[in-house]
Amino acid sequence: MNDKTVKFETILHDNPLPLMISPEIENLSLSVWAAQNKDLIKQKLQIHGAVIFRGFAESDIQGFEKFTEIVSDEIMNYRERSSPRHTIKNNIYTSTDYPPSEKIFPHNEHSYSKTFPQKLFFYCSVPPNSGGETPIADCRKVFQRLSAKTIEKFRTKKWMYVRNFGDGFGLPWETVFQTDDKNEVENYCRANFIEFEWKADNQLRTKQIRPAIIRHPLSNEEVWFNHLTFFNVSTLNKNIREILLESFDEEDLPNNTYYGDGTKIENEVLDELRNAYLNELVAFSWQQNDIILIDNILTAHARNEFTKPREILFSMADPYTRTDL
């Protein structure tokens, strides 16, 4: 099989993100082509940060699962959860089950975790009636947009993620840690550099301090990699933010972020960060059976609001454990 079996193109002529690969011959199986071109896929992913596979044969959920196994070393289950999903089969999940009217801000999956996936897969089982794109952003370019002053602050201070569980908002700790055994939760937290505090009424508060910048394990490039903008209360939809701030003291908010020393992140810094992401977003319209493979370190992903129906499935692979904590 040679290069004439597929074509390579980008969605935007002036932006390498994402690359699209589609067949030039009829009934070309994605799993067969991928098995014979694993090194090429790896090379393209490293350059572009995300690759869409469109128009291949056998691109159903079984084909999706097979493809993830072919191009990955290890498929991961969903641990230390932050958003609602439900399992379709094995380690294939729905993408975040938030209401269609809500946008989801750009983020790198599990950047708050000690161990996170290097690869993400999204599969379009049912295209949306309208909207529902999964915009993506090159985190190398996001990093380049930030001021030297902001970068230096986070190099020095890192960032802190604070979560509160058991108050009726967000996921309960039993779902997040996939256990109802407090000893297992405590052991997980200790092993993953997470501070924990049990509060009244079976509630839990956790704090974890993480670097805001990471070096890509293959290219050694510095990349902006964190959830500090995503989880900051100021990034929430205005109505939701006001409800939460009226309902909780700041220290008891379901999610919030700070500098690593616990001090507040200035509004102007948060605005700078939000603008950096939003100015780098690239959107594409989902088509039936599209699959997108994302380098989770190089590329952040988001979600636009949509009208039903829409079903995008999700899987993640190739765990990477940070050594810079």
Q: Do domains 3-138+281-321 and 141-277 have the same CATH topology?
A: yes
**Residue pair 134/312 in contact by the 8 Å Cβ criterion:** yes
pLDDT of residue 230: 98
- The pLDDT tens digits of the residues spanning 187-216 come to 999 999 999 999 999 999 999 999 999 999
pLDDT at 110 over 70: yes
Whole-model pTM? 0.96
pLDDT of residue 1: 44
pLDDT of residue 159: 98
pLDDT of residue 86: 75
User: DSSP code of 128?
Assistant: -
Question: Sorting pLDDT into bands at 50, 70 and 90, what band is 91?
Answer: confident
* Beta strands 50-53; 15-23: pairing state: parallel
For 268-289, letters b (16+ CB in 10 Å) and e give ebbebbbebbeebbbebebeeb
Query: How do the domains of the chain map onto residue ranges?
Result: 3-138+281-321, 141-277
Is 3-138+281-321 assigned to CATH 1.10.10.10?
no
pLDDT at 121 over 50: yes
User: Which helix (H) or strand (E) element contains residue 291?
Assistant: strand 291-295
- The pLDDT tens digits of the residues spanning 46-68 come to 999 999 999 999 878 999 999 99
Provide the Cα torsion 300, 231, 171, 306; round to 10°.
Answer: -50
- The pLDDT tens digits of the residues spanning 13-38 come to 789 999 999 999 999 999 999 999 99
Alpha carbon separation from 42 to 37, 119, 293 (Å, rounded): 9, 11, 10
Residue count of the chain = 325
Question: Sorting pLDDT into bands at 50, 70 and 90, what band is 81?
Answer: low
Q: Using alpha carbons, select from 79, 82, 103 the residue that is nearest to residue 254.
A: 82
Please compute the mean of the pLDDT values over residues 260-281 and round it to a whole number.
Answer: 98
What is the identity of the amino acid at 7?
K
Task: Quote the mean pLDDT of the chain.
Answer: 94
Q: For domain 141-277, which CATH number applies: 3.40.50.300, 3.40.50.2300, 3.60.130.10, 3.90.220.20?
A: 3.60.130.10
Question: Sorting pLDDT into bands at 50, 70 and 90, what band is 79?
Answer: confident
